[in-house]
Amino acid sequence: MDRLWAPWRVEYLTQPPAPGCIFCAEGDDRDLLIIHRTPLARVMLNRYPYCNGHLLVSLHRHTAELGEFSGEELQELLRVAALCKDVLIRSSSPDGFNIGMNLGKAAGAGVLDHLHLHVVPRWNGDSNFMSVVAEARVLPEALLATYDRLLPFFPKTEGA
């Protein structure tokens, strides 16, 4: 029998969540998986991705309430999501995308108190048996390798 090893997942399965908000954390961008910043938003790789290139777009303001954001903030959220889609097309040639939000625990939100948007590249045939029979995902690229591959495709932003 072949075995698929994913030792990085044990952290997700056994560790309690880190204190604080992952979208408000400050430090080294690569360590935090923050790949792009604008004055109002940030883009980070999902630490536990559905597939390689799974990006999270969040506004800097810490709230989970969609209606609390200004029109400028909401426009920036979608502008940055469109940038992510363009970056993923140029870097990874996906066949499609899932782009959306999980609002509330019942909807699948893993972070309940800071609204964020998922940008997930998809390829024809990427849904495999592992998700169905083993509750696992097979990712062909290491997370930081994905970070390094995508980073050159994002524009350099001054003062963000």
Judge whether 105 lies within some domain.
yes
Active site residues: 116
How many domains are contained in the chain? 1
pLDDT at residue 117, rounded to an integer: 96
Judge whether 96 lies within some domain.
yes
pLDDT at residue 156, rounded to an integer: 86
Tokens 């923050």 belong to which residue?
34
Helix (H, G, I), strand (E, B) or coil at 72: helix
pLDDT at residue 39, rounded to an integer: 96
pLDDT at residue 77, rounded to an integer: 97
What lies within 8 Å, CB to CB, of 79 at 6+ separation is: none
Rounded mean pLDDT for each run of 10 residues along the chain, 160 residues in total: 65 74 94 96 92 95 94 97 98 94 87 93 73 62 88 80
Residue 52 belongs to domain with CATH number = 3.30.428.10
Tokens 């430090």 belong to which residue?
27
CA distances from 43 to 103, 106, 131 (A): 18, 24, 26
What lies within 8 Å, CB to CB, of 3 at 6+ separation is: none
pLDDT at residue 127, rounded to an integer: 65
pLDDT at residue 160, rounded to an integer: 58
Lateral strand order in the sheet of 55-59: 34-37, 41-45, 55-59, 116-122, 96-100
Judge whether 52 lies within some domain.
yes
Judge whether 59 lies within some domain.
yes
pLDDT at residue 141, rounded to an integer: 81
Judge whether 22 lies within some domain.
no
Give the range of the structural domain holding residue 120, as residue numbers without chain letter.
Answer: 27-150
Judge whether 53 lies within some domain.
yes
